[in-house]
Amino acid sequence: MPDGDPLNSIRDGTAPKALRLIAARGLIPIPPSEMLEILVCLLKDSEPEISSEADLTLSGWTESEICANLKNRDCHQLLLSHFASPEYSDALLEAVILNPKTPGPAIAKLASQVSVSLLDLIMINRVRLLEFPDILENIKHNPSSSLQIQRIVREIESEFFSKKESAPAIEAQSAVPESDSDALEPQYPEDVPEDLSLEGLPLDPAEREVAILQRLSRMTPTQKIRYAMFGTREVRAILIRDTNKTVAKSVLQSPKLSESEIGAFAAMRNVSEDILREIGSSRTMTRSYNVIQSLVNNPKTPFQISQRMLSRLVTKDLMLISRNRGVPESVRRGAQRTLANRMVSNA
């Protein structure tokens, strides 16, 4: 908005009291997103009457209306920071956590207090975790944090924050004058490209993969994480096999990930057991029968995961597994036991 706009004067508290009071009552004809922002601003107004009216008006908004605004990628950071508080419902906090525009310090504040389900959502944005290490520190001190989350936190800290050679780099970064800080920006680009600039690459699949691998090899782990989450299907298929666990696991957090890709990953024999364990432990990913079948047939899948999936296979596939010499003996025996139990229960 241009300078001198009445809404700007309301935001900064310089508008006349009468105008601020009208705004606090929600009587200004502006879009809902702007009205919500104005109300949050007026909650801190120096006039008790105005802040009280803003609070009353805001209480009339439904949770779904507020959530719709918080999910918007153009949502003002003021709103996201305001609603980043444990006093609000899990639905509102989920919208705040999943919005990439939410400031890191606001997420760090939540990380020490929210439930384990919300901690799982906080862990999705690995780039934000790397940019704001306080989030990881607060997760460690959250009494709701699960053993699995604590393990991932330790892995991230070990990989990115515990290397001795990183100290000089950190010191050099802190020594850069504020006016020169833009020089650091290429390492953390704000907008993630839709592809990996694949123009001009070979059409042959094998040669194309080699060319992409060469480009990925020149990237830092942080850059790889961005591409793992927001790159193309081709890039995800390569990064799921990355030797860096955090990079590989970031592929599974990609909002672009399809069910068919998950099934393909579950069948891969050149991915780490950690990836197969992550897939097998996810209720969302194992909703697909194809994923379940691929996990059980993959000899690299941890036995505990395969064993848990056996009961979800149809009888025909159980019979095939019981005779499959390509899977571990323990899995074949598990399939045979499941078949026997099923025959007894159907008798």
220 vs 187: which has the higher pLDDT = 220
Which of the residue ranges 253-257, 297-301, 336-340 would you say has the lowest mean pLDDT? 253-257
- 279 part of a folded domain: yes
| Residues 140, 206 within the same domain | no
In a domain, 313, yes or no: yes
How many domains, in total, are found in the chain?
4
Instruction: Give residue 328's domain range.
Output: 258-346
Shared domain check, 296 and 330:
yes
Residue 291 located in a structural domain:
yes
Residues in the chain, total: 347
Angle at 213 between CA 207 and CA 216, to 5 degrees: 145
Radius of gyration of the chain (CA): 25
Q: Strand, helix or coil at 319? A: helix
Residues 283 and 233 both lie in one domain:
no
- Residues 276, 302: contact at Cβ < 8 Å? yes
pTM above 0.95, yes or no: no
| 264 shares a domain with 227 | no
Contact yes or no for 169/196 (Cβ under 8 A): no
Q: Do 121 and 46 reside in the same domain of the chain?
A: no
Q: Is residue 176 part of a domain?
A: no
pLDDT tens for residues 168-193?
443 443 343 433 333 222 333 344 44
In a domain, 209, yes or no: yes
One domain for residues 342 and 285? yes
CB 33 within 8 A of CB 72: yes
The answer to whether residues 148 and 274 touch, using CB atoms and an 8 Å cutoff, is no
